[in-house]
Amino acid sequence: MSNLLNVGSRALVANEVALQTIGNNIANSSTVGYSRQNVVLQTVEGQYTGGGYIGKGVDIQTIQRNHDEYLTRQAALSKSVAASDVTRATKLLQLEDIFKGGTSGLGAAVTDMMNAFSDVANAPTDLTARTVVLTRANEAASRFNDASTQLTNLQTGLTTELQNAAAAVNTITTNLAAVNGQIQLARGNGQSPNDLLDKRDNLINQLNQYIQTTQIDADDGTVTVFAASSQPLVLGTKATALQVQSNPQDASQSQIAMVFGSQTVVLSEDLMGGGSIAGMLKFQNQDLAEGANLLGRIATSITTVVNAQHQLGLDLDGNAGGNLFSPVSMPTGAAASFNTGSGTVDISVDAPTVAKLAASDYKVTFTSPVAFTVQRLSDNTTVLPDPTTGSYDGLAIAVGGTPATGDSFLLQPYRAAAGKITTAFGSPRQLAVSSPVQAAMGVTNTGSLAVANLAAKSVPIPANITLNFTGSNTYTRSDTGATVYTYSPGTPIAFDSTNTSSGWSLTLSGAAQNGDTITLGPANPAYAKLNAGNANALLGLRDVALFDGSSLSDGYAALMSQVGVKVQSVQYTAEVSKSIADNLETSRTSVSGVNLDEEAAKLLQYQQAYQASAKMVQIAQTIFDSLMASVGR
């Protein structure tokens, strides 16, 4: 009878615990990170009798945590990758919004400025038309400045977000180390601390939202968590702090470092993998830098070619033109921390090769104190000097001091260019739209010679030179005597063929006859103000191939296209990685998640088992009472 009572009471306790576990599952069905639990029962070893082994009931072996370690880690990893891609895509959308199109965009402002020269070309003395040009130039400069400011604000906000993310990681790793310690102590009783294990997995999952991790289980129940492949974030019950710091050579870039006491180790961005921190770093150090360089190159190229052409004209008072925009001043190269020499590297735009400017940073490395290599960082290509001017991608490099072999310098020509643009003057009279050179056909000419194009190459224009045609395809010049030159319609005639950037350039059309003449020299001051030759030259800059084959007027559209293509690509990647993460999370929850319908069915099952166990105890009590009553008689 006592055996019957023991069997019943054990069954009663086991079923009560099962009901309590099911109730706990139901209560935590919406708890993030909770893993479904179930009671594992085992048979109590039976008692041997002459009639065989008689069962002695049931015992609770353990409370099992439904958990798949592989799926849990894969789900955390996929979420980390998705967090990186989604963060980067979100930031790229903000970057794309800065480079907007339409009438309020930067491209429209540049186009309006260039088109405004057409009104001046039609009425070169009209101060209203000249004022419109300056107004459009101011508007273009203002939009360059505004775009640069927005990029700076995006950079500042990103740095703050990185610091907040690092602080969140430090909080999580501190909690994770504490949970490690609790699990270490709890494992001493021989049973699995399910709730603590869930808490730890949830913390690791949260950690992977910020920075991708790997982990190794220790024999004492703790987990060592690594970031960037090999750097320990959590080692047993100790956590390592993260901090955000600026790149010592490039203040616009951030680095993530681990602090080990007095030692700081910078994490390799390439090894960080996923997590929102990696996504922000990729955006800041790659996409945002590229956007700033694209904008800066446009600002540098436009101001360079417009200023160069404006300087070849005369203003309303007959003075040679100056800069329309403030010239772009490029920063000195940033020396690497390991440099041992005293060298410096300065850069400037090489005007003749301005069309070769590339939207990139550069690295100059000295192979000897007098020789260096130039690497374009956007595609890690070694740039060779231009065979004519010696420039590198349109940049003139000047070395000062005494560099040492192995010294390195970072060049960032365009990062700040757009924020510094201003117009150089405010008076419409200073707009140099008149050509300083004029051509006069001989009054006795009998051929069909006509001026197809006459452009100034330098100011002031040299003294008058007369071309005397000695036949249909030959001529002499008054400044070189009897030397005979060949004439071909449509072929430019340079003032100085050895230096085409001096004097003037003349292109003629039509047929020449012996005795025809044409005289070239400074424009007549009395009529120069009525000449709009330089306005037409400025207007013609719209079609100059300036940006990787794109014209000046199409340069901003090419920038928007480049940013837009990257946004679409990263968005697609983010959608794919998020889909993978969602699928893996579904697989994980199918193992660890709570199904309320299933728990409700189990609830009824164990309720009936509990009632049956109670009935068993009641029967044992009745038998005992009957026995005691019989003995009492």
Q: Report how far residue 262's alpha carbon sits from residue 221's, in angstroms, rounded to the nearest whole number.
A: 29
Alpha-carbon distance 70 to 81, whole Å?
17
Q: Which of 85, 151, 253 is nearest to 559 (CA)?
A: 151
pLDDT value of position 445: 94
Residue 613 pLDDT greater than 80, yes or no: yes
Q: What is the pLDDT of residues 78-133, one digit of tens each?
A: 999 999 999 999 999 999 999 988 888 899 999 999 999 999 999 999 999 999 99
Edge to edge, what strands does the sheet with 223-227 contain?
213-217, 223-227, 231-235, 238-239
- Contact call for residues 394 and 354 (beta carbons, < 8 A): yes
pLDDT tens profile 133-169: 999 999 999 999 999 999 999 999 999 999 999 999 9
**2: confidence class by pLDDT, cuts 50, 70, 90:** low
- Nearest-angstrom CA–CA distance, 605 and 15: 10
User: Among residues 246, 51, 269, 30, which one has the least CA distance to residue 156?
Assistant: 246
Asked whether the predicted pLDDT for residue 632 surpasses 70, the reply is: no
The b-or-e profile of 339-348 (16+ CB within 10 A means b, else e) is: eeeebebebb
The pLDDT tens digits of the residues spanning 487-511 come to 999 999 999 988 888 999 999 999 9
Could you read off the pLDDT of 285-294 as tens digits, one per residue?
999 999 999 9
pLDDT, tens digit (0-9, with 9 covering 90-100), for 399-421: 999 999 999 999 999 999 999 99
The tokens for 283 are: 């955006």
- Cβ neighbors of 279 (< 8 A, separation 6 or more) are 83, 84, 85, 86, 87, 88, 91
Query: Is the distance from CB of 610 to CB of 19 less than 8 angstroms?
Result: yes
- Return the half-sphere exposure (C-beta side, CA atoms, 13 A cut-off) of residue 254: 25
Task: Give the model's pLDDT for residue 119.
Answer: 93
Is pLDDT of 545 > 60?
Answer: yes
- pLDDT confidence tier of residue 451, bands split at 50, 70 and 90: very high
Residue 441 bridge partners (DSSP): 518
- CA–CA dist 190, 202 (Å, integer): 23
Q: Which residues contact 468 (CB under 8 A, 6 or more apart)?
A: 475, 476, 477, 478, 515, 517
Paired tokens of 244: 């955000």
Q: Which residues contact 276 (CB under 8 A, 6 or more apart)?
A: 83, 84, 86, 87, 165, 209, 210
pLDDT given at position 112: 94
pLDDT value of residue 9: 87
List of residues 6+ apart from 169 with CB closer than 8 A = 207, 210, 211, 233, 242, 277
The pTM for the full model equals: 0.87
Who contacts 323 (Cβ-Cβ below 8 Å, separation ≥6)? 307, 310, 311, 424
Q: What is the pLDDT of residue 1?
A: 53
Q: What is the mean pLDDT of residues 361-370?
A: 95
Is residue 633 very low, low, confident or very high in pLDDT (cuts 50, 70, 90)?
A: low
pLDDT (tens digit, 9 = 90+) per residue, 16-75? 999 999 999 999 999 988 999 999 999 988 887 777 888 888 999 999 999 899 999 999
Above pLDDT 90, what percent of the chain? 75
Which pLDDT band holds residue 268 (cuts at 50, 70, 90)?
A: confident
> What confidence tier does 537 reach under pLDDT thresholds 50, 70, 90?
very high
In three-state secondary structure terms, 597 is: helix
| pLDDT, tens digit (0-9, with 9 covering 90-100), for 273-310 | 899 999 999 999 999 999 999 999 999 999 999 999 99
What is the average pLDDT value for the chain, to the nearest integer? 92
Per-residue burial over 201-212, b = 16 or more CB atoms within 10 Å of its CB, e = otherwise: bbbbbbbbbbbb
* DSSP character string of 155-179: HHHHHHHHHHHHHHHHHHHHHHHHH
Provide the pLDDT for residue 625: 72
Per-residue pLDDT of 203-249, as tens digits, reads 999 999 999 999 999 888 899 999 988 899 999 999 999 999 998 88
CA distance 59 to 126: 104
Is residue 454's pLDDT more than 80? yes
Tokens 């309590």, residue? Answer: 20
